[in-house]
Amino acid sequence: MTEHAATRLGPLSHLTVLDLTQHLSGPFATQILGDLGARVIKVEPPSGDPTRRIGPYFEDGDSDYYHSVNRNKESVVIDLKAPGGRDTLLALAANADVLVENFRPDTLKRLGIERELLLEANPRMVLCSITGFGQDGPYRLLPAFDIIVQGISGGMSLTGEPEGKPVRSGLPIGDVTAGMYGVIGILAGLSEVARTGVGTVVDVAMLDTQVSLLSYVAAYYLASGAVPGRQGRDHMSIPTYRAFECKDGREVVVAANTEAFWPGLARALGCPALVHDDRFLDNDLRRTHRTELASIMESAAAQMEAAEFIERLRVEGVPGAPINSVSEALVDPQVTARNMVIDLVGRGDSIRTVGNPVKMPGLRSKAVAPPHLGADTEAVLSELAQLSSREIAELAAVGVIPTQESGTESLPYA
């Protein structure tokens, strides 16, 4: 049993996941499963997941991008294009609970690994496919990455200043949202298998997940026909849900999104008379007169340092916070108290990344760094696929897996 498997703890520690994913959406999903205790076996091509080589930052031969979404996993190298590669994967699948892949819809079929074949090898398996556009529809075979689905979904049209150009979200929401929905689908699939004893297929499209995030914005358009524009620092429904620039140039966000918060915000701004102003008596009126209100509130906030404004908001019980830089966010006392910056063990002591946001009893206290490419190949094939030493040597001889002599390596781009 590999070191990763031996240290599994958590509510999903009874599960084995084959992870054929690369880049971000799929690895993000399987990392969540690994954080919750599942045994995640990352099956990589001989060249490795391309993100092992994405600069500019590297630790111990692999990129920090790769480290950020591949902890708590084992690495197995199988050349699925080589004769015998498909059968080796099927031998692993026969003893796994979940298989996750994020190839284009026709890729597995071209490799001779149809979904029907996987379910024949393991009738209780959950197969999760995370793709840009899903398994059907006119775009199904088109390539897609985060910025593509942010653009097509309408999300980018909402982001940026009202008079400016559309802006991509600074967070890779197309990828990570698809990963999270993938986990939701997998857990639902496992529940279905437990109920019926029959495996199932989960189809998650990055574009679908981005359209789902339109939420009330889409509902407003469908109800009114009015096309929403870029939201900037404001909220289309609630004028007191927005950002302010303070005297010291720092930005503060305020979420006064109920009538109960409005008087406190007015007092925190030093403008208690606003509460009795006929233009601002309720949210509908404040929305009608949002331009006048914005001018008054912005002028008041600009007279205070950000720390003073935040303290006034907290005294009044109004939600408010600074707009932190990444460096400020990662040392925020609440972030550090919740162990959201962690050290990965197993590959030196310098690999740091963000932690697991799910807190519950029984999870392992230390996260394991991603292994070197192919580090667990022979151990996993021996244990999970139940291959003998001779069979493993034969696979190495024909190039399905790397030989000990040739090894595998993942180096930064020159």
| Catalytic, out of 35, 175, 208, 376 | 175
The one-character DSSP state at 373 is T
Pair of tokens at residue 135? 């398994």
Report CA-CA distances (Å) from 289 to 162, 230, 234, 283, 339.
17, 19, 14, 10, 43
Coil, helix or strand at residue 43 = strand
Beta-carbon contacts of 63 under 8 Å, excluding residues fewer than 6 positions away, are 51, 52, 53, 54, 55, 57, 412
Report CA-CA distances (Å) from 64 to 3, 131, 168, 266.
22, 24, 22, 45
- Beta-sheet pairing, 241-245 with 200-205: unpaired
Q: In terms of Cα–Cα distance, which of 408, 412, 369 is closest to 44?
A: 408
Which sign does the torsion angle of CA 357, 361, 362, 364 carry?
A: positive
Q: How far, rounded to the nearest angstrom, does the alpha carbon of residue 369 sit from its chain's CA centroid?
A: 18
Virtual torsion, Cα 389, 393, 394, 395, nearest 10 deg:
100
175 is catalytic: yes
> Cα–Cα distance between 237 and 217 in angstroms, integer?
10
Report CA-CA distances (Å) from 343 to 24, 306, 355, 362.
20, 32, 9, 19
Catalytic residues: 175
